[in-house]
């Protein structure tokens, strides 16, 4: 076990939010604690751009209702930050819904999927690939759908928020 002083340093780092702010080095985060805390809010260094990929790995809770992954333009709650893409897995009706919110207005929700990829109490891997006209969403290596950008300035998309009935194991 780590000496008390080192442990209290790590706990302090967790409390003051430094670890929750970096998607830059998920390996380093794993050293401090194996599960990232949900709800999670982290900074995407340099924002999004074509070719950039966000990786979210986790385990669905045993009796899940839903969980969400959002890429937003900052963390502001009031006024609410623009949401470039919000992915919401709803277990009751087995839907994987996506939408965006620009200037306080939610757009048209999209919900068609070839199959529902999430299983209670099982691990998953979601990849959000940013391309020039769209996000491509992969779950466990299979492309599930595309979501065309509704926010023009990709670099402004600099925050990831994750909440709901899951445990996070890795972000990158």
- Quick check: 19 and 142 in contact, CB under 8 A? no
Looking at residue 20, its pLDDT comes to: 43
Looking at residue 78, its pLDDT comes to: 85
Looking at residue 61, its pLDDT comes to: 98
CA distance linking residue 32 with residue 19, whole number of Å: 9
State whether the Cα torsion 118-166-108-49 is positive or negative: negative
CA distance linking residue 7 with residue 120, whole number of Å: 33
How would you classify the pairing of strands 40-43 and 159-164?
antiparallel
CA distance linking residue 117 with residue 44, whole number of Å: 25
Residue 152's SS3 state is coil
Domain boundaries defined on the chain: 36-171
Looking at residue 25, its pLDDT comes to: 42
- What CATH class has 36-171? mainly beta
Would you state the structure tokens that stand for residue 110, as one six-digit string? 């999209």
Closest CA to 147 of 157, 159, 138, 160: 138
Complete DSSP assignment for 65-129? -EEEEEEESS--BTTBPPEEEEEEEETTTTEEEEEEEETTEE---B---SS----TT-EEEEEEE
pLDDT digits (tens), the chain, 172 positions: 444 444 444 444 444 444 444 444 444 443 344 458 999 999 999 999 999 999 999 999 999 999 999 999 999 988 889 999 999 999 999 999 999 999 999 999 999 999 999 999 999 999 999 999 999 999 999 999 999 999 999 999 999 999 999 999 999 9
Residue 154's SS3 state is helix
CA distance linking residue 97 with residue 139, whole number of Å: 14
Would you state the structure tokens that stand for residue 140, as one six-digit string? 């466990």
- Quick check: 23 and 43 in contact, CB under 8 A? yes
CA distance linking residue 8 with residue 15, whole number of Å: 10
């Amino acid at each position: 076990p780590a000496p008390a002083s080192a442990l209290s340093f790590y706990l302090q780092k967790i409390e003051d939010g430094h670890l929750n702010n970096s998607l830059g080095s998920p390996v380093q985060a794993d050293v401090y604690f194996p599960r990232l805390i949900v709800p999670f809010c982290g900074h995407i260094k340099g924002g999004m751009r074509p070719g950039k990929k966000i990786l979210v790995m986790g385990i669905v809770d045993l009796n899940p209702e839903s969980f969400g992954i959002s890429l937003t333009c900052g963390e502001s709650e009031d006024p609410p930050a623009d949401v470039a893409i919000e992915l919401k897995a709803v277990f009751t009706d087995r839907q994987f819904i996506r939408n965006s919110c620009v200037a306080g207005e939610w757009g048209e929700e999209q919900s068609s999927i070839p199959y529902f990829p999430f299983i209670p109490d099982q691990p998953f891997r979601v990849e959000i690939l940013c391309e020039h006209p769209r996000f491509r969403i992969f779950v466990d290596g299979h492309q599930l759908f595309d979501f065309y950008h509704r926010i023009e300035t990709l670099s402004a998309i600099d925050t990831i928020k994750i909440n709901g009935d899951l445990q996070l194991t890795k972000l990158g």
